[in-house]
Amino acid sequence: MDKNRTRIVVTGAAGRMGTRILSLASADSRFHIMAGVEMPSHEAVGRFTDDGKAPIVGDIREVLTKTEVVIDFTAPEAVLKTASIVAKGRRGLVVGTTGLKTQGVAQLKALSRKIPIVFSPNMSVGMNVLFRLVEQAVKAMAGSDIEIIEAHHNLKKDAPSGSAMRLADIAAASSRRSPKDFVYGREGLVGARTKKEIGILAVRAGDIVGDHTVLISHAGERLELTHRAHSRDALAAGALEAARWVAGKRPGFYSMFDVLNI
């Protein structure tokens, strides 16, 4: 086996993100797909990935010893179970799963004392550049009104998106505000906007892959910073870069900022 190729296992292998990660990895000579993982009852279990080279299994423990890095785009409950198993196996982990609550993130941080974990609510390169730009813009335009608008496809289960909440957290930290200042949509006679509010609006329609806009406004002008994902390949490619980067790293809780060195 080529030691220069990163050996990966992808959970949620039959899902929208899992299939794109596997497709990109199969065409990239830097990676060796060891297996895909799905729920034991899933119809894909027992089959092979689209390139016909890697099995899809119902239990990650069947293939964990063969891999270096596990990539997870599943659901909050599933990823925490997977992370615990991966930590026992001392493998690297890339988590792009969204919807994790504070307690779930804390569990991942605790496991990162044993293994290297890259965690990001959005793994596209452009989105992580937006995270940095928002941080700088909010500091430069002190005292501005801040609004965040995100749009996704009509099948997305969590709202607001993990990326929108990450943008809100960054904006709050950069403007001396807190999550107590977040306002989720508005309805009725809500009164004048308070200076500390960070408005967050979630749109669900059609097959939108993912749009995020941060509006920063004060007297006489406004700045709008927008990222639009044209396909899920942007996130899949970022996840693969994270897997390549985290292989062999020391235990720790990393972000895409570490992967991209920004």
CA 186 to chain centre: 27
Which residues are identified as catalytic? 152, 156
Rounded to a whole number of angstroms, the distance between the first and last alpha carbons of the chain is: 33
Tell me the C-alpha distance between 128 and 75, whole Å. 22
- Strands (E) across 145-254 are located at 145-152, 182-184, 198-204, 210-218, 221-229, 252-254
Are β-strands 252-254 and 116-119 bridged in parallel, bridged antiparallel, or unpaired? parallel
Helix ranges (H only) for 4-100 are: 16-26, 76-89
Distance CA 45, CA 240 (A): 23
Residue 182 in tokens: 């977040």
Residue 33 C-beta-side C-alpha neighbours within 13 Å: 28
